[in-house]
Amino acid sequence: MQGVRLFFAKQGRGVYISHLDMVRAMARGLSRAGIRVKYTEGFNPIPYLVFGQPLSLGYAGMREVCDFTILSDDMPVEVVAPTLAAVMPEVVFPIESVPPVNKLGAVTMADYTVCLKSTEPVTKEQVAEVLKKPEIIVLKKTKRGEAMTDIAPLIDSLDVADDLTVRCRLACASGLSLNPSYLIKVLNAAYPTADIDWLSVTRERFLLPDGVDFS
C-alpha cells in the first residue's frame, strides 16, 4: 500500500459541485480509472478519502487536496494523477500526485483571489482602508453559534488592485479559519449603498505556518 496526495483543480462549472458530491465524484473516478484504494471499515465501506478544508459553493480551487491510499505497490504514485485525469470531468482536473509529506492538519493559511463588484464606485484605497484596519469586528460563525469576532488577526496579508481584485492570505486551520465572504460582509457594513459582492473567489493554494506551499 502507498499513501497518495492528489492535487487537483476545481473550476468552471465545477465550482457548483458541493463537497459531498466532490467526494462521490472522486470515488467514482478512482473506480473508473481502475485505481484500487483503501476502503473504510463497517457495514457500508466506501473509499477512504480525506480532503482539505471544503470550499464554499461557487468558489474555485486551483490546488485542492485529496489524500488516499492505493493498494498497489507496483503503481508509481506519480502516475495516479494522469491516470485519474483521463476519466475525470475537465472541471475537476487532477494536477499531480505525490507521496504525502506533511499532515493535512499542518495547513494554517490559504491564498485567495477575490474579484469584487459594486453598484456604486468604490476605490481600491477605500477597500484597503477597511480591510487593513488593526481591528475588524464582525458577526462570525463559530462552533458554538455566532459571536462578534475580531477577524483582523486572521488576515495575514492583503493587497487590492485597481480593478478591485483582492489577493489575500487568510487563516485556514482546523477550527481557526476565515471565509473570504466575511471580507465582503465588512465592506458592505462600511459602504452600505455600494452593494459590494464577489464576481469570483479562487483559493490558489494551501500554506504551512512558515508560508511555504503545503506538500
- Segment 107-140, tens digit of pLDDT: 999 999 999 999 999 999 999 999 999 999 998 8
Interior angle at CA 43, CA 41 and CA 49, nearest 5: 40
Rounded mean pLDDT, 62-90: 94
Binned at pLDDT 50, 70 and 90, residue 38 comes out as: very high
Identity (one letter) of the amino acid at 182? Y
Q: Determine the Cα–Cα distance for residues 31 and 38; give it in Å rounded to an integer.
A: 12
Q: Looking at residue 43, what is its pLDDT?
A: 85
Q: Determine the Cα–Cα distance for residues 81 and 17; give it in Å rounded to an integer.
A: 20
Q: Looking at residue 55, what is its pLDDT?
A: 95
Q: Which of residues 147 and 198 earns the better pLDDT score?
A: 198
Convert 178-208 to b/e letters by CB count within 10 Å (16 or more is b).
bbbebbbebbbebbeebebebeebbbebbbe
Half-sphere exposure (CA, 13 Å, Cβ side) for 111? 12
pLDDT at 142 exceeding the cut of 80: no
Q: Domain 2-100 adopts which CATH fold?
A: Alpha-Beta Plaits (3.30.70)
Q: What is the DSSP letter of 34?
A: T
Record the cell numbers describing residue 187, joined without a space. 465592506
Binned at pLDDT 50, 70 and 90, residue 34 comes out as: very high
Note the helical H segments in the chain: 19-32, 77-85, 124-131, 181-190
pLDDT at 144 exceeding the cut of 80: no
CATH 3.30.70.580 domain range(s) in the chain: 2-100
Q: Looking at residue 145, what is its pLDDT?
A: 80
pTM of this structure? 0.92
Rounded mean pLDDT, 50-77: 95
CATH 3.30.70.100 domain range(s) in the chain: 105-207
Binned at pLDDT 50, 70 and 90, residue 24 comes out as: very high
Rounded mean pLDDT, 199-207: 97
Enter the CATH code of domain 105-207: 3.30.70.100
Burial class (CB within 10 angstroms; exposed 0-12, middle 13-18, buried 19+) of 112: buried
Write down the mean pLDDT value for the chain: 94
Q: Which residues share a beta bridge with 69?
A: 3
